[in-house]
Amino acid sequence: MSRKRDKREVIVETRNLAMHFGGVRAVDQVDFTLYDKELRCLIGPNGAGKSTFFKCLTGQLSPTSGEVIIRGQDTTLAETHEIASLGVGIKTQVPNLFDGLSVDENIWMSARRWKNSKRARSLTSETIERMNLGDMRRKTVNQLSHGQRQWVELGMVVAAEPWLVLLDEPAAGMTHEETARTAELIKEINTQAALIVVEHDMQFIRMISQQVTVFHEGQILMEDTMEAISKDRRAREVYLGSRA
Ligand SMILES: Nc1ncnc2c1ncn2[C@@H]1O[C@H](COP(=O)(O)OP(=O)(O)OP(=O)(O)O)[C@@H](O)[C@H]1O
Ligand SMILES: [Mg+2]
């Protein structure tokens, strides 16, 4: 298995990555590897360092030490917009919608940031189709439910044609039906891009997950399938407990 995996292209790598806040080692010497076309979930208890690690990848935080390499480029100290310009789609927990504009217009704005206006128009239509947003495309986004707004944000990410997508808690606050639809959208995105998804909702992780990385106290506790993690004693102790 490991020999086979080694042949795939590495698209995200961290080496000895650390992010300290005063005496708190939020991320502590993390070596992480993501291969092309992977869909990787990051889980772990509150305060385990998932969001901090995520922010070191997206350029929202500058690591204390160590390196982040994205498709061969050292992005350790790069800003978020520089990382996005490499073809990385980022959805943080901070909403990113233009409230007075329609779904169409929001997605078009995102596509137009990187493409000429003709290509942006065709990408907007393709994205609306792919992400199944046709029935709401003319609505202004402030008329939408929480779940719908999240899907529009995913559409904005997709419209930039990223080859890597980074999502922090895409199903937070969603109903079961909304979560299930979000899982389908993420699988659709994964047909064209690799993803790293930070998430708490175990049902959601089971719907989408292939390989899962468990964080604990700033470090990687284990990496495996959700099935194997559910059976692992240490993973159960630190995190899963009743959630499994
Ligand atoms: N800006 C900050 N300043 C100081 N400490 C921080 C900061 N951000 C995070 N921390 C601390 O770093 C540790 C890791 O936090 P982080 O938010 O990365 O955890 P998490 O795994 O995302 O947790 P959750 O599941 O609750 O979202 C925690 O102890 C947190 O209090
Ligand atoms: Mg977090």
Query: What CATH number does the domain containing 208 carry?
Result: 3.40.50.300
Distance 205 CA to ligand 1 centre (A): 21
Distance 60 CA to ligand 1 centre (A): 13
Ligand 1 in contact with 24 (CB < 6 A)? Answer: yes
Confirm whether pTM is higher than 0.85: yes
Ligand 1 in contact with 51 (CB < 6 A)? Answer: yes
Give pLDDT, residue 95.
Answer: 83
* pLDDT, tens digit, 9 for 90 and up, residues 94-108: 888 999 999 999 999
| Number of domains forming the structure of the chain | 1
89's CB contacts (< 8 A; 6+ apart) are: 157, 158, 160, 162, 164, 165, 166, 193
Q: Is residue 231 assigned to a domain?
A: yes
Mean pLDDT, residues 176-187 taken together: 95
Q: What is the mean pLDDT of the chain?
A: 93
Q: Is residue 184 assigned to a domain?
A: no
Share of the chain above pLDDT 70, in %: 95
Is the pLDDT at 223 greater than 70, yes or no?
yes
Give pLDDT, residue 113.
Answer: 92
Closest residue CA from atom 18 of ligand 1: 49
Question: Quick one: which ligand is closest to 61's CA?
Answer: 1
Is the pLDDT at 72 greater than 60, yes or no?
yes
Distances, alpha carbon 119 to alpha carbons 124, 137, 178, 239, in Å: 8, 18, 30, 45
Give pLDDT, residue 9.
Answer: 94
210's CB contacts (< 8 A; 6+ apart) are: 38, 39, 40, 225
Give pLDDT, residue 5.
Answer: 53
Query: What range defines the domain where residue 26 resides?
Result: 1-87+163-170+201-244
Distance 69 CA to ligand 2 centre (A): 22
Give pLDDT, residue 242.
Answer: 47
Q: Is residue 118 assigned to a domain?
A: no
Is the pLDDT at 198 greater than 80, yes or no?
yes
Is the pLDDT at 160 greater than 60, yes or no?
yes
Share of the chain above pLDDT 90, in %: 85
Mean pLDDT, residues 190-217 taken together: 92
* pLDDT, tens digit, 9 for 90 and up, residues 6-16: 678 999 999 99
Is the pLDDT at 243 greater than 60, yes or no?
no
* pLDDT, tens digit, 9 for 90 and up, residues 18-56: 999 999 999 999 999 999 999 999 999 999 999 999 999
Q: Is residue 214 assigned to a domain?
A: yes
Q: Is residue 189 assigned to a domain?
A: no
Give pLDDT, residue 238.
Answer: 84
Question: 131-134: which pairs have CB atoms within 8 A and are 24 or more residues apart?
Answer: 131/155, 131/158, 131/185, 131/188, 132/181, 132/185, 133/103, 133/107
Q: Is residue 38 assigned to a domain?
A: yes
Q: Is residue 190 assigned to a domain?
A: no
Distance 54 CA to ligand 1 centre (A): 11
Reference 71, options 7, 11, 8; nearest CA is 11
Q: Is residue 114 assigned to a domain?
A: no
